[in-house]
Structures are given as structure tokens and as C-alpha cells.
Structure 1
Amino acid sequence: MAEKTISKVVYGGKTLIDLTSDTVTADKLLSGVIAHDKSGAAITGACTYDADTSDATAASAEILSGKTAYVNKIKVTGEMRNNGAVTGSISKKAEAYSIPIGYHDGSGKVTISSTEQAKIIATNIRAGVSILGVTGTMSGTEGAKAQAKTATPSTTQQTILPDSTGGYNYLSQVTVEAIPYNESDNAQGGKTVTIG
């Protein structure tokens, strides 16, 4: 028969030790701490719920809103805004997206607006130029209609432009006729030269 542990000691009518009314149990004693229960048996603590938070540095703004934690032995309620999945878009070359302060769940995205994405196609980009991973194929003559014109010399300045009708948008060539030159006999026995 196992020897019973001593939980109460009375000497000369005086109680020196009395564990019989103690309520400590292993699950309520900090992990690793040794004590005796009400029967006098040694027990080793198993509770891991307590921790030394004196070196913790988190502030309420760094803890998610609605959550609580203990910092330096004080219960702190979080104030950090929960932004969840933040999304945004940019539509101009120099535009930037400002990330809002707070928590992000990692699934948010910032993209180029769909209107601008639709413009970034190979036929809108000059051949040999790459923009955002799209290499251009445009030669520069797509949709262009050329006109060839002939101009008659004049003694005044002329501006040669494509005709406003016919859908022309540039000149492929301009042919300038030779300046007219004519010689004829005159009544004085000489020659008259007419230029132009």
C-alpha cells in the first residue's frame, strides 16, 4: 500500500501547516512551478495562459480594430482600421495610388484602368517600341491617304497643302512645273524674252 502524503501538521496543539483547504491544481498553476495540493502531494504546474508582457511594444494603432492584447501587463484594444481587400486603379502616366493606412488582407490590387488598358495595343504603338509589355506594330502609315500635286510657279509665295476634300492627310510629292520661258522677235529688231 502506497504511503500517504501529509497535508496537515499539528504540534503541541498548534497547527503548523494545513493544506487541506488549498484549491491549487496543476491546471491553475503556472507551467513549470512546483507546489503541493490539498492532499500534500507535489504537483507541477501546467497552465500556459500567463506570460510576461513587460517587454511588449505594440500600440493600439498597431493592433487590428476590435482585437485585444496585453502590452506591459495592460489590456489594449486595437484601433487599426481593417481595410480588407483594397483595390484601386490609375489612368494617367504620372498618377500614383495612395495606400490607405491600416490592415490589408493581401488580396487587394491596383491596376491600370480598363479604359487605358484598351488603348495599349500593338497597333497603337510604333513598331519596335514596347509599352507595359506590349510591343508595337504600327508603321505610321495606317489610315493615311497621300495626295500627289502639281504646282505652277508664281511670282508670289505659295503654300501647298493636301486638298480639304477626298480624305487626304499628307502629300506624297509635289511636282513644280518649269518656269515658262518664251522668246519672240520684236519690232525694234531684237528679241523679247518673257519669263513666267
Structure 2
Amino acid sequence: MTKKIILCLVLAASAPGAEAASTHVLGAQKKTLSDASGTVAAGYYAATTLSAVDADLAAANIKPGVTIFGFAGNFTSDSDAIAADIITGKTAYVNGVKLTGTLTTQSLSPANDTVTAGTYTGTTLSAVDTDLAAANIKPGVTIFGFAGTYTSDSDAVAGNIMSGKTAYVNGVKLTGTLPTSTLSAANDTLSAGYYAATTLSAVDADLAAANIKSGVTVFGKTGTLALPDTGVTGSGAAWDDGAYSPAASQPSYTDNADGTITDNRTGLMWAKDGLAAGCNSGSLSAWSTAGGYCDTLTFATYSDWRLPNVRELLSIMMYGASPIDTTYFTNNQAGSYWTSTAIITDPVVAYYVDFVNRNTGAINVITSYYVRCVRGGP
């Protein structure tokens, strides 16, 4: 445009009336370019550069591969990201090319402490792993802002912890000094301390029903000790056994309805019928045969029968009209029954109980007597 204007001025100066024409052109109103619009109106413009009119006309503001008024664009040409460096679904320009991101959002896992490179949504570490808490951290240690308090509410000392065992108290590992105490059968004192599991009857074997007064229970052992009643009901004098018959000494039996009788005072279980298998079917036998028979007997589902000792057999004898309680013991044979009690100084002699004469004695073991098996007891 400038060249054309100058040309007009030259031509005007050469032509007739050139002075008037020149004055008209020079006096025309000057135009000004604006960076607010790309429109260039017809008219006169002073010499300039477009980059002077709009400073944003620069290579750094123009897309690479494009040249505007002599400015070859290089905007974004200095970036080096690739799609994997941009969050998935987001876009960005790199060296003039629009990229769509493929960088996935990572997640922290409470399973390990690995932080994989990548983007993460805003959170707190305690939200990822709820075990990140003061109550789970050793006192004196702070993990990601959580000052530990674990074991700080405990108050034991070494003397409260079993000897040789360890425990943490307020963050400090203690080794116990509490000894294991032992119960003694010599007295009933229970000192403070730790005791290994046991039973009182294991500590003192005398804690047994047979050693406790009938009707009394000591540490779960209900006593059965009572003097056996003689069976005498009539009284000849105020001091004889007929006049003194407390309930605790009266015979007490339970019929188990299986061919056996339980003595509620002694806890012994007897064969009921004198003619049944529990009594060798009422047959006579020598002492060794009698013992062997009971030892191998299986009767009323039990297989731990034995020959009773002399005191046990005497405990079911009565001294009244009948030598035995026939309500419970049926078909008792009129004669003597073997016991397992032998004479220590004479091994060929053993005790028997005579249910006819209501007494006991010892005789040679080859003698044939009746048998009544028993089970239970010590």
C-alpha cells in the first residue's frame, strides 16, 4: 500500500495540477492498526511492523509448522511429554500435537508400603490403612504423625508376670519373676501367687469321699464315711446299737435295674443276684479261681469287676434277722463268700465272710466258697 501511495504522489507531481493533488493526499487522515482486530481499513498508515502493533505476534505464540507474517511458530515445541505422562482422559499439546493421556490413577495398598510412580487421588494414609493409629504404635515412636501409645495403658511389673515369660508394659519389654507356687498337703494355706493346674485330691489323696463324714461335702467330695448299721432294731439297753441308729449309718442302696446294686454309703457297685453271673451263678470255687473269675468278668456292660476285700464284704452284712438286705441282694447263698484279703505271713490262707454265722475268718485257699463280685472303690 505504501508503494502505491508513493507512486500516486509521483504521478500527481508530474501531472497538471500536481500541487493540489499532493496537498490533498498528504492532508488525508492517518489510519492506525489495532491489536484488537485483524481488520485493515483503507487509508494511510504510518510505517511500522505488525509485531510492534501486537506484541503477541511472536514465534513462541504460534503453533509449530505455521508461519504468520514471517514468524515461524514454535509454541509447545519445547515440551517432551508423551501420552503416558498425562492423566488418562486428559489432553495436552506437545510440540504442536494434541495428546490424550493414558496415565492411570494409582492406589495405595495396606498390604505393603510400596508407592508406585503415578498419580493418586487425595486421601490420608490412615484412611488407606486403618491400622495406622496411635494405639497400634510403640510409645516413643511417631509414624506419619501418629505418636504411639500401644501398651502405655498397662501397669504390670516383673513380679506380676510368670517367671521366664516376657511382656511389654508402656513400651518396655519385661521379663517375669513370678514363681510357680505349690500346694501342700501339710496345711490348708494358699499363699498368693501362680499355681499350675491340678486338683486338690491330687495334692492330698486323703481328700476322698470315704474319708469324709456322710452328708458333708468338701471341695466337691461328698462324704460317705459312716459306721455300718448292725441291723439290730430292738434295744436291750440305752447304750446298745439297737438304741442308737442314726440315719447316716443306715444302709442305703440303689437298684440300677441292670443286675447291679450301688451302695450309696461306700459307692461300691455289687452283683445283685446270688445265682447270676455276677456271683458265679451261685457256684462254689477255690480262692484263686474266685479271684480270676471276677477279674475276667464282663457283666452289666462293665468289665472292671474284682473280688471284694474283707472290709468291703463285711459292709453289706447285717446283724439282724437276715444277714443281708434281701430287698436288694437276692438269692444270697447260705454259706461263706471269698474275699481278696490274704494272710501276709501265710499266702495259702485267705479271709472269708460267713453269711450264716455273721462272722469272718481265714482258711486255706483250696477251700470252695461262694463268690460275689464288686467294682469301684479305691
- Specify the structure having the higher radius of gyration (Cα): 2
TM-score normalised by structure 1 residue count:
0.33
Which structure: greater strand fraction? 1
- Greater relative CO (CA pairs within 8 A, separation 6+): 1
